């Protein structure tokens, strides 16, 4: 099978108390696992696409046969989005952005605190399931956006720098309906070193 579920880069309980162990276990193993399985199943009928990376598939959904396009959009997006999500979190609490990324955030959004406010507002404003993102747009500017379901900004020509999952499966066991509390706590897990690396990579195209 072309795609595999990546191992979580830390223990299931490593993001406690902000994200609980049981949520991480179910979210990674079952939810992300199912996106990978379903993506591979969808691609069974399109052998010519099986050699492509997820970064190649998502910006070119028009090139995916119509019969499996929605499955690739949902499950391919789910695979990319969650792979990023695990990588941009880390145990031991957040550090803070510095260097080029901090300067770009200040230029585009005013400050890191303003960025957090904008991402939280995007996540709270997303009705139902989806994601809130910091993206690098085609013109080279940072912006905060939200997508429904598992739609990935790569499919609309934006590079995801940071994204937070606001599906209920990401927080319901610990926070129930309190999405604002989850979002507030989530910032304590952000791995700004990894986010900065994503920014530099996106700038190079």
**Dist CA 196 CA 106 (whole Å):** 14
- Decide: 173 and 198 in contact? Cβ < 8 Å: no
Binding of Mn ion at residue 165 (CB under 5 A)?
Answer: yes
Element spanning 184, H or E: helix 179-186
Residue with smaller CB distance to Mn ion, 24 or 109: 24
> What tokens were used for 97?
């952005």
Give me the least distance between CB of 78 and Mn ion, in Å please: 7
Give me the least distance between CB of 166 and Mn ion, in Å please: 9
DSSP conformational letter for 16: T
32 by DSSP, 3-state: which? Answer: helix
Q: How far is CA 31 from CA 26, 43, 82, 90, 91, in A?
A: 7, 19, 9, 20, 21
Residue with smaller CB distance to Mn ion, 167 or 186: 167
Give me the least distance between CB of 77 and Mn ion, in Å please: 11
Residue with smaller CB distance to Mn ion, 74 or 106: 74
Give me the least distance between CB of 102 and Mn ion, in Å please: 28
**Dist CA 74 CA 185 (whole Å):** 27
Q: Which stretch binds Mn ion (CB under 5 A): 1-9, 41-49, 91-99, 159-167?
A: 159-167
Residue with smaller CB distance to Mn ion, 49 or 171: 171
Site map 77..116 versus Mn ion, x via CB under 5 A: ----------------------------------------
- Decide: 95 and 196 in contact? Cβ < 8 Å: no
Q: Which residues pair with 160 in a beta bridge?
A: 135
Give me the least distance between CB of 165 and Mn ion, in Å please: 4
Give me the least distance between CB of 83 and Mn ion, in Å please: 11
Residue with smaller CB distance to Mn ion, 167 or 192: 167
Residue 191: CB partners within 8 Å, gap ≥ 6? 87, 88, 89, 90, 94, 95
Binding of Mn ion at residue 151 (CB under 5 A)?
Answer: no
Binding site for Mn ion (CB under 5 A): 165, 167
């Amino acid at each position: 099978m072309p795609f595999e579920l990546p191992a979580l880069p830390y223990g299931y309980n490593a993001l406690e108390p902000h994200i609980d162990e049981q949520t991480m276990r179910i979210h990674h193993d079952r939810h992300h696992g199912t996106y990978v399985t379903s993506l591979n199943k969808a691609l069974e009928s399109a052998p010519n696409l099986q050699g492509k990376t997820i970064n190649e598939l998502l910006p070119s959904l028009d090139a995916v046969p119509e019969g499996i396009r929605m499955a690739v959009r949902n499950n391919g997006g789910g695979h990319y989005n969650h792979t990023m999500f695990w990588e941009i979190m880390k145990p031991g609490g957040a550090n803070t952005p510095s260097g080029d990324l901090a300067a770009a955030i200040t230029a585009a959004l005013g400050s890191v605190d303003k960025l957090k406010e904008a991402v939280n507002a995007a996540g709270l404003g997303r009705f139902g399931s989806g994601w809130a993102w910091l993206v690098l747009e085609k013109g080279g500017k940072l912006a905060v956006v939200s997508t429904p379901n598992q739609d990935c900004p790569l499919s609309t020509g934006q590079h995801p720098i940071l994204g937070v999952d606001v599906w209920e499966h990401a927080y319901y066991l610990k926070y129930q309906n309190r999405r604002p509390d989850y979002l507030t706590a989530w910032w304590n897990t952000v791995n700004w070193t990894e986010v900065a690396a994503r920014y530099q990579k996106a700038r190079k195209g």
